[in-house]
Amino acid sequence: MNTDFTNKTAIITGAGIGIGFAIAKALAQQGATVLLNDHDEQLAENAAATIQQAGGMCEAMPGDASDVPFIQRMVDTAVSRFGSVDIAIANAGITIFGDIFTTTPESFQKIVDLNLRGSFFLAQTAARQMRAQRKGGSVLFMSSVVGHLGHPGLPVYSMTKAGLEMLAKQLVIDFSPLGITVNAIAPGATLTERTLDDPTYIPIWSRITPMGRPATVEDIANAALFLVSPASRHITGQSLVVDGGWTSVGIPPV
């Protein structure tokens, strides 16, 4: 199976910690050059330094992944520093809890701006560059299981994640003639710095996940690497759920 990323340049957003960092680290370990974005400059610099210390090629690109001019600067930087953009991973996403009655226009806008607008325009900007390069490429969106199943307090977030999965299907039309694949990953509960803040997270998700535990960031990174590798070159427009079986069964009545 070909999962070699030598001579490939990847851009990944929101990768200072969590799932994005795990994907960036794994890509660099397998030979990719990574432009690592995070809104938090210190997190971006630390993450890039950690990957470099482990022998990977990685450069930090701090900035707001929902800002369209900044997205263009990320693509331009990848090209000027490394010569190409071959993989674009729109990982940055925010979760703001609140039901339909308490959601404000401001929180709605914030979630939509990053989760949908940032992902949409990263796909557009990276694919324009891939089109000019004439050697294909891969785009990956970060969805969620709540793009498939309702979850209390996440009406806007779940809507954006379902939207990303539809966007992956839609972009098949424009990207396939260019040899660009576009897919989504839908992680279930995943242990990250953020989710580990909640002491009930592991016990609850271990009980209700058929595989008996929440995902690790490596579980998600493994799926991501497959979907941006030559091994998945005929897979496009798809969403891969990585949730230990959670969305396959209803929660038992206990």
Ligand X SMILES: NC(=O)c1ccc[n+]([C@@H]2O[C@H](COP(=O)([O-])OP(=O)(O)OC[C@H]3O[C@@H](n4cnc5c(N)ncnc54)[C@H](O)[C@@H]3O)[C@@H](O)[C@H]2O)c1
In the complex, which residues of this chain contact ligand X (CB under 6 A)? 13-14, 16-20, 37-40, 43, 64-66, 91-95, 114, 142, 144, 187, 189-190, 192-195
**161 in active site:** yes
CA–CA separation, 184 and 236 (whole Å):
9
Of the candidates 84, 5, 83, 74, the one whose C-alpha atom is nearest the C-alpha of residue 35 is 74
Q: What are the angstrom distances between the C-alpha of 201 and each of 96, 158, 205?
A: 17, 19, 6
User: Please, what is the minimum distance in Å from the beta carbon of residue 36 to ligand X?
Assistant: 10
Active site residue 144: yes
- Find the shortest distance in angstroms from Cβ 134 to ligand X: 29
Q: Which of 144, 158, 229, 239 is catalytic?
A: 144
The kind and range of the H/E element at 59 are strand 57-62
Terminal Cα distance for the chain, rounded: 43
Radius of gyration of the chain (CA): 17
- Which run of H or E residues covers position 62? strand 57-62
Site of tokens 């001579």: 7
Token look-up 């998945």 returns 232
Q: Is 157 a catalytic residue?
A: yes
Question: Which one of 119, 161, 229, 232 is the catalytic residue?
Answer: 161
Question: Could you say which of 8, 119, 143, 157 is catalytic?
Answer: 157
What is the closest distance, in whole angstroms, from the C-beta atom of residue 141 to ligand X in the complex?
Answer: 9
> Do the beta carbons of residue 88 and residue 123 sit within 8 Å?
yes
Alpha-carbon distances, residue 75 vs 127, 163, 202, 217 (angstroms): 10, 23, 38, 26
CB of 154 to ligand X, least distance (A): 10
Element (H, E) at 122: helix 119-133
Q: Note whether 91 and 46 are within 8 A (CB).
A: no
Active site residues: 144, 157, 161
